Structure 1
Amino acid sequence: MTDAAIPNDREPGAGQETKRRSVVYTRSKQTRASVLWMDRFARRAISVGGLFVIFTVFAIMFFLVYVTMPLFGGGTVGEAKRYALDQTNGRILSTTIDEYRTLGLELAEDGKVTVFHAPSGTKLGASAFDFGGVAPAAFARTLQGDDVAFGFPDGTVRLGTLAIDTAVLPASRAPSALEKLPNGDRSDGAAVYTEIPGRQLRRLAPRLVLEMPVQVAPAGTAIRFLDYRVGGTAERPLKTFATVDEHGTARLSTAYAQVNMMTGETSTTVSNVEVPTGLAAGDIAAVLLNTQGNRLLVATKDGVIRRFDTRDPAHAKLAETARLLPQGVRPTALAYLNGENSLIVAGSDRSLSIWTMIDRKSSSTTDGAVLTKIHDLGLQPAPVERLAVSQRTRLFIGADRAGDVALYHATTERRVLTFPSEGAAAPVETLILAPRDNGALAIGSDGAARLWTFDVPHPETTLGSLFGKVWYEGYPEPGYTWQSTSGTDSAEPKLSLVPLIFSTIKGAFYSLVFAVPIALLAAIYTSEFMHLRLRAVVKPLMELMASLPSVVIGFVVALVLSPIVENWIAAVVIAFGVVPLALIGSAFLWQLLPRPLALRLDGAPKLVAFFLALAGAIWLTLAISPLFERALFAGDFKAWTTGAGSAAPFLFLLVLPLSFILVFGLSGRFFGQSWRERLRGREYHVAGAWEFGRWAALTLLSLAVAAGLAHLLASGGFDARGGIVGTYVQRNTLIAAFGMAFAVIPIIYSIAEDALGAVPEHLRSASLGCGATNWQTARWVILPTAGSGIFSAIMIGLGRAVGETMILVMATGNTPIMDWSLFNGLRALSANINVELPEAVKDSSLYRTLFLCGLVLFVMTFILNTLAELVRQRFRKRAAQL
């Protein structure tokens, strides 16, 4: 080998070139430490974030469960105290206790009032009504308990007041000599003083007032039965009382009292009207009067009640005779519930039931109303003989023949609590429920007083009352009702969640009926048929719609769209048929263009032509709607919804989609192949003309089939009115569905379009290469492959519709109605939370029920997402086989 053959390091050569290339292009195959660190950090951060999301979801669920669980709890009895009171004054007529369960009053038949400290039984003193040494023959008190009435053997009635006055005083004004009571209260012998925050004292003292006697019955005729009510205003109280004397004569008396605001003097005028009962005093068990004085109930000992209509006292008449108890069973106790709409009836057969008047337009009664048993509390351990009702709820307490006392709730038909007897108990003489429904006081015939404190925070909520049918006062039958508040405190709350759940499903369903076809067809068009440059503009604009706040959509829908739809409701209804037909017809007319011209106009011009066709369809709808309204809907669509005209026109619109599917489906099934063979080889515009003619013919046939089906259904008694169509109100489900569809369409469109675009290109190319058209490829290849993504898009849209709040609040009447009518309002769970929560008192039944609404919404969403995931996995397995 010569020296020339040896490469020189200083001279450029092949070896040096190879070495330089290896130095320049060789890279280290080891991953940098920073990359590995970031990878580990990202992996752990994602894991922690995912776990935190799962934890947060379950924490929210557990919090909702924690807040709502007390709704289904019962009650608890706190302290149970027993002590003896003086029993030397004769039979006890009444017992009174204040709202703080501090001071008690015991009224005996000789008029003496024993004042005692309720928690300990310490006697504080005594007062008395001056009856002139004559014991009353009848006694009554109002529901609130402050007003009392006494009937005497001489036929007179004396009205009075037996109340406990409450006053708050500064500690400096307390009397100097106060005796300490066992629980820390203090007394001066007549009143009780309790320390309260702010260095103040609460003073509780009895107040006794007895008015002058009023001669009701003839002199010397004893009053046997008496009931008393006070209404009116503070300036002009209206006192009404009903009496039955020893001869069985019933009288309705009204005392009009007027207070002179300058002098404080009261002038009273009394009027008496006889009510013909036709009964002897010995047959009567009780007399009950309502506050308005327009209804008088006379119950007899054989379980029959006579209801007298006294709206015109001078012409009182027997309105109804009803049997409340079986033959041979006598009533042992009768009392009105709070509100005086329902009557508690206890029988000697141990039965306990609730009766109320229901307007049934009955011909057997003078006013059409019928006393109906709406609640049955079942057989009790012993016949209930004493009743005391709550002043604010449908709670009441009853004492049975054995001396046992229990707490009941009328609406939920349950025995909430049974109070401990603390040893043998004598029959109860008087019974009282504390004004705040947190205490009960019973005094037996032996003078033994029993005081219980209890806590029943949510007596009106059970699984049955929240999710089952409940028969409420005044309703003709059991039903699902939501009415949390009313004009008066005497109305019972109605907290059924079923109308809210139904409305949530109804609103979501109708919104998806409008949104899904539009969103999916738009996604298919932009993915498979629209030019790429135009798609790059349209898709971001559609996605931008999703960012529009729902409150803005609700505002526009409620204040702008709602009046327009109301004025053009017939045009809107007809547009559901005219607009699709016009757009499809325009698409067939587009095929009449020569092929080169159609290709040049593809893209933006084609989209502009589509919008022009849409505008033309809307104009055509507005132009022909008056003609259709006169021809099909008796000239006024809103009047037609209330019953005018024939049912066939709207049935025609309803069955029209079914007739199109039927006609076009059968045509394609039996004649599709031969028709395609006939068109093969013809020029593009000629084939388009034939297709347009075929479509027009099948459309006319579909219209004829729909008309035939509509008349057939109408002749069979079918009518959409009363179903999906009802009386039109401006804020209705149709308006809300339009607004929610506008909010849901961008979501469904965007996800569905991404799913269609993610289909592998080789599937699309293979289909087109086999001779399939773009539509055939989209229908038979692209859609099945993207099925899981499309289904996910629909379910996400459904989740948005289910949870929508502001559009429903602003665009509907927020009426919890259970019907499928498009023209009625609704109240969804989310809207109900939004409307009711600001007014709900913390920890009240309504407050916790609203959290239960949130929990139900949470569970509904969880179930929907679970089902959606199962279906999506099924779609994915099918798509993987393609």
Structure 2
Amino acid sequence: MNPIPIPAHYNDRRRQFIDRLTRRVVMACGLAILLVMLLLFVWLIWVVVPLFSSPTLSSVSRIALDQDQPAVAMGMDAQQQWGWRIDAQGRAEFLSLMNQSKVPALWLAQGRVAVATDNDSVLLKSAAGLTLVQPDFSEAEPRWKFPLGDQPLGGNPDAKVIALAQTAENRWLVAEASATQITLYRFQPLQATASFSVSVPDVSQLMISPDGRLLYGLAKNSLRVWRITDGGLTLRESHTLLQQPERLAQLSGGSTLLMADHDSITQWFDIASATGPHLNAIRAFHHASNQPLLLSEAHRRVFATLNPAGEFKLFASKQEGVVLRSQLDPGVLNAAFAPRGDGLLVERQGSWQHYHLSNPWPDISWRNLWQKVWYEHYPQADYVWQSTSANDDYQGKFSLVPMVVGTLKAAGLAMLFATPLALAAAMYTAWFMAPALRRWVKPAIEMMGALPSVVIGLIAGLWLAPQLADRLAGVLLWPLALAAALLLCSHVSQRLPEKWRRRLCDEGREIWILLPVLLLVTLGCLWLLPMLEHRVLGVSLADSLCGGYQQRNLLIASVAMGFALVPLIFTLAEDAIFSVPPSLGQGSLALGATQWQTLTRVVLPGASAGIFAALMIGFGRAIGETMIVLMATGNTPVTEGGLLQGVRTLSANVAIEMPEAAAGSGHYRVLFLSALVLLVFTLVVNTLAELVRQRLRQRFSQQEMQG
């Protein structure tokens, strides 16, 4: 009689504790990873959001004035602690913006004065002559400096219009216009005054470019531009305008000329042509028209209009509409920006009002990042990335389009190079190769993935780039020659007798025949063809290209990145193919299908989810690759250009320029925006890839169950 088995109740408390602990640790680690990604995303947004915040204007203080004469020139120091003003009678004074104290007034001229300003220099014209003064804030108490002496200089007593430009340290240009002529003076301390004249009637306004090379004169509806040379004034061009401008103004750097009339304010600057640079109308600012006050910042291309009713409008040269609109108290007589553009000083009858202006990045907007912008001296609107320059008059150009285009170009071509090689190698290794050989080949290819990308980039930039330049024709012909050789070998193998085909091609032996053939084809394309090319033509294909050839280009980066992607895609795709249940393939073969038919119609559909995941992971790696594109391309941020031209990607741009970006600057935050765009793009691609992979897996599972 057999005993009745008694079920054993397995209850190992230690094992259960370890299982619970492991489960919780894994869950905690997963949640921690998600939290880190979320914090990274929030931090990037926190750094980027201030770029798109609207400018603000807020009142700081009100300062009483002890006299009622309106100011003809006014301003303040960079720290916004002192303000200065000069009235129409030549009385100059400093007033504290912090504690209401003041410095005793100084009479700079007697009688009625006309004023021209250039940043921190003020030129006064009175009946006695010309006087140049500068407010000096280098000491505890501000004072007035007289760079050319405190005695009035000679000038044209009949002149009614004056202009001033400081062209260098201790060098000034002054232009005066009378009813019949324009006179230009060169002033320099302790040196004789140089002057020359040109006959021009009825000039209502004059302006000198900051570099002292151009003089603009407005006479009714005629605008004339003269070149200033050592020998005098040479008329460069003349424009007859449909409507007479009421005011001219220059933005920082002097490259942009503003023309304000009753209906609009238009921007003009020089564009190169076959006959030299010429002034062109570029854009009209929406909701902008001439007002009694037209202010411009000293170091940025920002201007504002202000009328006596207190309607304040702020504009930036790269934005067509109003940046900030604010209603101030009425009764405005005069106003001035702070030197850094972070303050505004407004004068009314008997008082000043000091405002804090927050507009840190006027040149950056969502439109400028993604649309074409017409920059100064460019022939047309374009996508431009140019973030640094040597002088303060530079206007940053922060278009992300060149980097996005370069990223997609490099990643797409790298995938185009890597996908056929990796998938073909995966299919052959998993399905056709002999198991003994597979045990050697698969680890060898996977070991290629251990090569650091910086090593691959170094090899590509220093060795591959010059080699490819000498063998460009052979490299372009090489893929076609390899494909033709493989097809020819396949055709020949089908013509062989059954006995020889079984002996040569069964059990993976065909690789020992294909390898010498492919090596011979490679040798012919990369050595024999370039040698014949130099012997016959005397010049390589790269040297004969009409569009030019950059040695480090998109082709080099794509080949190097493709080489780095092959091990990753191969490993994942080969595992997916090898993981398909063997019963499916054996059943197909048993029904009479060939190995190729079984692979393409049974195995590959079963492994499609894994293959697609491998491609998407490889594409994500290509999108984020930095060192290879950094070292193997010319890092040229352009949208045009073909296979043999340079590119710059988002990741490479961040790596190049982040060390040079000042913390908190607009450049710094735009680079963080680049990283955010790269992160969002990667998340979107991976999310879509996961959705497609799940659909493919679900579809295959349903077909398998139905089968």
TM-score (norm 1): 0.74
Query: Partner of 1:141 in structure 2?
Result: 117
Task: Work out which of the residue numbers 364, 376, 379 in structure 2 matches 1:461.
Answer: 364
Contact persistence 1:736–1:812 (CA under 8 A): yes
Contact persistence 1:95–1:107 (CA under 8 A): yes
Counterpart mapping for 1:709-858 below 5 A: 726-819=547-640, 821-858=642-679
Contact persistence 1:375–1:471 (CA under 8 A): no
Q: Distance in 2 between matches of 1:520 and 1:870?
A: 22
Query: Partner of 2:19 in structure 1?
Result: 39
Q: Which whole-Å deviations, capped at 9, do the CAs of 1:211-268 have from their partners, x for residues lacking one? A: 3555454xxx422222111223x4xx432222212x231133333x4xxxxxxxx432
Q: Distance in 2 between matches of 1:637 and 1:385?
A: 64
Q: State the secondary structure of the residue aligned to 2:283.
A: strand
Contact persistence 1:252–1:272 (CA under 8 A): yes
Contact persistence 1:152–1:222 (CA under 8 A): no
Evaluate the alpha carbon distance shift between residue 852 and residue 513 of structure 1 in structure 2; reply closer, same or farther with a 3 A threshold: same
Query: Partner of 2:347 in structure 1?
Result: 443
Instruction: Tell me, yes or no, if structure 1 residue 223 matches structure 2 residue 159.
Output: yes
What's the offset of the Cα at 1:563? 1.4
Evaluate the alpha carbon distance shift between residue 77 and residue 292 of structure 1 in structure 2; reply closer, same or farther with a 3 A threshold: closer
Q: Distance in 2 between matches of 1:34 and 1:736?
A: 55
What's the offset of the Cα at 1:313? 4.5
Instruction: Tell me, yes or no, if structure 1 residue 560 matches structure 2 residue 463.
Output: yes
Q: Distance in 1 between matches of 2:514 and 2:155?
A: 88
Query: Partner of 1:239 in structure 2?
Result: 172
Q: Distance in 2 between matches of 1:62 and 1:378?
A: 37
Q: Distance in 1 between matches of 2:332 and 2:638?
A: 51
Counterpart mapping for 1:119-198 below 5 A: 119-129=98-108, 131=109, 133-136=110-113, 138-142=114-118, 145-153=119-127, 156-158=129-131, 160-167=132-139, 191-192=140-141
Contact persistence 2:61–2:355 (CA under 8 A): yes
1:253 counterpart letter in structure 2: Y
Q: CA RMSD in A?
A: 2.7
Task: Work out which of the residue numbers 249, 254, 273 in structure 2 matches 1:340.
Answer: 254
Instruction: Tell me, yes or no, if structure 1 residue 506 matches structure 2 residue 414.
Output: no
Q: Distance in 2 between matches of 1:547 and 1:412?
A: 49
Contact persistence 1:297–1:308 (CA under 8 A): yes
Range that drifts further, 783-792 or 467-476: 467-476
1:287 counterpart letter in structure 2: L
Query: Partner of 2:516 in structure 1?
Result: 612
Contact persistence 1:310–1:317 (CA under 8 A): no
Instruction: Tell me, yes or no, if structure 1 residue 93 matches structure 2 residue 72.
Output: yes
Query: Partner of 1:109 in structure 2?
Result: 88
Evaluate the alpha carbon distance shift between residue 269 and residue 849 of structure 1 in structure 2; reply closer, same or farther with a 3 A threshold: same
Instruction: Tell me, yes or no, if structure 1 residue 357 matches structure 2 residue 270.
Output: yes
Contact persistence 1:163–1:207 (CA under 8 A): yes
Counterpart mapping for 1:344-493 below 5 A: 344-349=258-263, 351-361=264-274, 367-379=276-288, 383-419=290-326, 421=328, 423-428=329-334, 431-444=335-348, 446-493=349-396
What's the offset of the Cα at 1:124? 2.5
Query: Partner of 2:528 in structure 1?
Result: 623
Q: Which whole-Å deviations, capped at 9, do the CAs of 1:701-745 have from their partners, x for residues lacking one? A: xxxxxxxxxxxxxxxxxxxxxxxxx53111211111111111111
What's the offset of the Cα at 1:412? 2.1
2:237 counterpart letter in structure 1: A
What's the offset of the Cα at 1:813? 1.6
Range that drifts further, 572-581 or 783-792: 572-581
Runs of 5+ unmatched residues, structure 2? none
What's the offset of the Cα at 1:516? 0.6
Q: Distance in 1 between matches of 2:659 and 2:476?
A: 38
Q: State the secondary structure of the residue aligned to 1:316.
A: strand
Instruction: Tell me, yes or no, if structure 1 residue 267 matches structure 2 residue 190.
Output: yes
What's the offset of the Cα at 1:321? 1.0
Q: State the secondary structure of the residue aligned to 1:268.
A: coil
Q: Distance in 1 between matches of 2:485 and 2:229?
A: 64
Contact persistence 2:482–2:521 (CA under 8 A): yes
Task: Work out which of the residue numbers 208, 224, 240 in structure 2 matches 1:289.
Answer: 208
Contact persistence 1:163–1:208 (CA under 8 A): no
1:517 counterpart letter in structure 2: P
Evaluate the alpha carbon distance shift between residue 416 and residue 368 of structure 1 in structure 2; reply closer, same or farther with a 3 A threshold: closer
Instruction: Tell me, yes or no, if structure 1 residue 520 matches structure 2 residue 434.
Output: no
Q: Distance in 2 between matches of 1:615 and 1:275?
A: 79
Contact persistence 1:443–1:450 (CA under 8 A): yes
Counterpart mapping for 1:307-346 below 5 A: 307-311=225-229, 313-314=231-232, 316-323=234-241, 326-327=242-243, 330-331=245-246, 333-346=247-260
Query: Partner of 2:681 in structure 1?
Result: 860
Q: Distance in 2 between matches of 1:311 and 1:580?
A: 67
Query: Partner of 2:184 in structure 1?
Result: 252
What's the offset of the Cα at 1:534? 0.9
Q: State the secondary structure of the residue aligned to 1:226.
A: strand
Q: State the secondary structure of the residue aligned to 1:863.
A: helix
1:273 counterpart letter in structure 2: F
Instruction: Tell me, yes or no, if structure 1 residue 870 matches structure 2 residue 691.
Output: yes
Q: Distance in 2 between matches of 1:571 and 1:563?
A: 14
Q: Distance in 1 between matches of 2:165 and 2:676?
A: 44
TM-score (norm 2): 0.92
What's the offset of the Cα at 1:436? 2.2
What's the offset of the Cα at 1:775? 2.0
Larger-Rg structure: 1
Contact persistence 2:92–2:105 (CA under 8 A): yes
2:166 counterpart letter in structure 1: V
